[in-house]
Amino acid sequence: MVTKQAKYQIIVDDIRDSITSGKWQPDRLIPSQSELASLYHTSEITSRRALAELVNEGLIYRIRGKGSYVKSSSGAAEAAALDSAEPPAKILERIYLVHNTGGNIFLLEHRFYGEMFRGILAEAERRGLEFLFWDYSLEKQLPSDDRACFIITSMGSNDFSQEMLREWVEEERQIVTVHSYFPQLSVPYVIIDNMTGGYLATEHLLSLGHTRIGILLTGPSVLELNQEFSLRLQGYRLALNLQHIPFDPQLVCVIDVESEHQKQGEQGFDYFSGLADPPTAIFATSDIKAYGLMRAARLAGCSVPGDLSIVGYDNMDFGLYLGLTTVDQNSHVMGRKAVEILSSDKLPKERMASLKDEIVPELVVRKSTAALIK
């Protein structure tokens, strides 16, 4: 089996060949990090890693504010450039996952967070970094640790405020937010592409012939949804629009609770079944609500998927045994990407602040959806 070569290694090999073959002469300016990313159709994190490898191999040197150059055998050019060289980077030893759950520790049991933790831990261990939890609700401040960086995550209703993030930015803390973002602040972030997730769920139902598709959401109202549910609704509407199916506000059910509960699904089923023209399929926007929908449907003598197709969201473990079609958020990738960004310690601050990534979810098709029987 042929192992696919890492993209950064391809860049390293190409530049090394150009230098060792004599094609690139000593003290030649080589393409910048952003130029390499564009040339190789990859991220600047990848091209930065390639340049760091070449520096470690002694093939290139950097001059602050000017760029990277082919290293000469004498090293005269490098010696002359010492005054303008970049200062030593801060040595990174620890990564803290900062949460604000308070006493509701059971939030950490959700598969979304469990997978994210595993992604963070795996990438931190690969880089030789210690991974620690930090409960902000207990400590009321970040640890005073100049060899640490921080992954800031929202869980439940106890989100971090924009003012907190601004204060940490002003303190020059090395942070990245996951699962939420603050467009007003220059803070790198990694989020799940919930709009694509909503689109995938709805498009799947459309492909099965359903056109009356309900959507069940969590929040005070349609106008007061949080980021993730708002984006899932946008994805739902996009899928309908692309199939030229008019948006029907009656097919949107919003239930306000403090945290996800199966009763939302049961209440949602009561709402949708009470419509003059009920939907033949429902996108529940969470597996927990989907379970409540399935239970209520079966108690009412409604077959799933014979009479009603249901799609969840989260790919929680119990969904496998229920045969629930769902959307996997790939949160382990989000955790890994967050560590990658924080490990970009040699990037200028303005470049660090612009780093962002949206993780694309995946549709997981099981037995709770079926073609519409007309």
DSSP string, 300-321: TT--TTTT-EEE-SS--HHHHH
- The pTM (predicted TM-score) of the whole model is 0.71
Fold of 94-192+331-359: Rossmann fold (3.40.50)
- Residue ranges of alpha helices (H) inside the chain are 7-20, 33-39, 44-56, 76-80, 111-126, 136-139, 162-170, 194-207, 227-242, 262-273, 287-299, 317-322, 331-342, 349-353
Please check whether residue 309 is in contact with residue 278, taking contact to mean a CB–CB distance below 8 angstroms: no
Rg (the chain; Cα; Å): 25
Stretches where the chain sits below pLDDT 50 are 1-2, 75-88, 346
Please check whether residue 235 is in contact with residue 193, taking contact to mean a CB–CB distance below 8 angstroms: no
Using DSSP bridges, classify how beta strands 94-99 and 67-70 pair: parallel, antiparallel or unpaired.
Answer: unpaired
Tokens coding 53 = 């490898």
Residue 16 to residue 351: CA distance in whole angstroms: 26
Of the candidates 304, 310, 254, which has an alpha carbon nearest to the alpha carbon of residue 281?
A: 310
Please check whether residue 226 is in contact with residue 179, taking contact to mean a CB–CB distance below 8 angstroms: no
List, by residue range, all CATH 1.10.10.10 domains of the chain. 7-84
Residue 313 to residue 202: CA distance in whole angstroms: 11
Give residues with Cβ within 8 angstroms of 307, minimum separation 6. 280, 297
The residue type of 120 is: I
75 CB neighbour count, 10 Å cutoff: 12
Residue with tokens 């690139």: 24
Residue 311 to residue 367: CA distance in whole angstroms: 10
Give the pLDDT of residue 4.
Answer: 60
Give the pLDDT of residue 79.
Answer: 44
The residue type of 27 is: D
Give the CATH number of domain 7-84; options: 1.10.510.10, 3.30.200.20, 1.10.10.10, 1.10.3720.10.
Answer: 1.10.10.10
Give the pLDDT of residue 78.
Answer: 47
Using DSSP bridges, classify how beta strands 252-255 and 213-218 pair: parallel, antiparallel or unpaired.
Answer: parallel
Domain 194-329: which CATH class? alpha beta
List, by residue range, all CATH 3.40.50.2300 domains of the chain. 94-192+331-359, 194-329
Residue 237 to residue 247: CA distance in whole angstroms: 7
Please check whether residue 12 is in contact with residue 52, taking contact to mean a CB–CB distance below 8 angstroms: no
Give the pLDDT of residue 351.
Answer: 53
